[in-house]
Chain A
Amino acid sequence: MRRSVMSQSARVAGTVVRSGAELLVTGGVVVLLFAVYLVVWSDVQTAAAQVDLRDDFESQVEAAASTPSSNVPAEPAKVAPPRGSGIAVMRIPRLGDDWSWVVVEGVSDEQLARGPGHFPETAQPGQVGNFGVAGHRATHGEPFAHIDRVRKGDTVVVEAVGDTYTYVVDRTEIVAPTAVDILLPVPGKPAARARKARLTIVTCHPRWGSSERLIVHGHLVETRSGSEA
């Protein structure tokens, strides 16, 4: 009886409220799924991309090793590797013995989603100039999540095709996102001519933000031929 006397407007209001509630719950579920995508799924995809990159890099190392030495030019080829290829394996002992990332050529969103990326305009590993690398500090495997633990004197080992380079950290600093001059061959000095081989790591700061950039500066101290694998 009561249901039949319930006014039509009350029924409409009930439908509106229920639909609104369903929309809000749906929105909440979508936001939760997005969080899962960022925190879990992006890591999974980057790990898979790293496996591919490592295969790519190791096949390059094998190809270089199997080439007769007479065909190998005295200087490593200066041609830029194709974007998206694995150019080197980076290790930072301070971040753990199992911390090992294949550096990809290029710093587009797509390339950085696969691993730390080499700024194509900067020097190749071990070359005189500035080997610039950017990497995620949150999501996508977060290679540089704990780069703030790196201290002066720590080593960064970069195994490129043919040679393994050891850089030592000089200093870290926090700069504005527009401070592109830290990637110059001599950081901060556009007119200077580089005589040293440097390393510059760029990541975001604070870790889950983007208002600044955390920079690690280093320079080359040792070059060994061959890869230590």
Chain B
Amino acid sequence: MYAALWRILPGPTAVKALIAVALFVGVVLILFLVVFPEVEPLLPFDQITLEPEQTAGTVGGESGVGEP
């Protein structure tokens, strides 16, 4: 997988390494800015408010809280 990627990258070794690092940083940025914020609400750390029993949907959120 990575061996194939390395073969696809153009230029001499130094350029290949530079592009590889840039690709890695890009992937990390996408993870931190897009993927992780999307996944985070699935973990329990965000569930800190109260919700009425009948609405199984939103945790806390804009409505419902305090109005059982």
Q: Interface of A with B (CB < 8 Å)?
A: 18-19, 22-23, 30, 33-34, 37-38, 41-42, 83, 106-109, 112, 117, 119-122, 132, 134-140, 177-184, 190, 202-204, 208-211, 213
Q: Which of A23, A33, A202 contacts B49 (CB under 8 A)? A: A202
Contact between B45 and A119 (Cβ–Cβ < 8 Å)? Answer: no
Q: Is the interface of B mostly helix, strand, loop or mixed?
A: loop
Q: Which one, B3, B32, B47, B61, contacts A210 given CB within 8 A?
A: B47
Chain B stretch 20-68: residues in CB contact (< 8 A) with chain A: 28, 31-32, 36, 39-41, 43-53, 59-62, 64-68
Instruction: Specify which chain A residues have a CB less than 8 angstroms from the CB of B8 in the assembled complex.
Output: none
Instruction: With both chains docked as a complex, state the minimum distance between the C-beta of B43 and any C-beta of chain A, in angstroms.
Output: 8
Count B-side interface residues using an 8 Å CB cutoff: 30
* Chain A hits for B62, CB < 8 A: 83, 106, 108, 120
A34 touches B36 (CB 8 A): yes
Residue of B31, B32, B44, B48 most packed against chain A (CB within 10 A) = B48
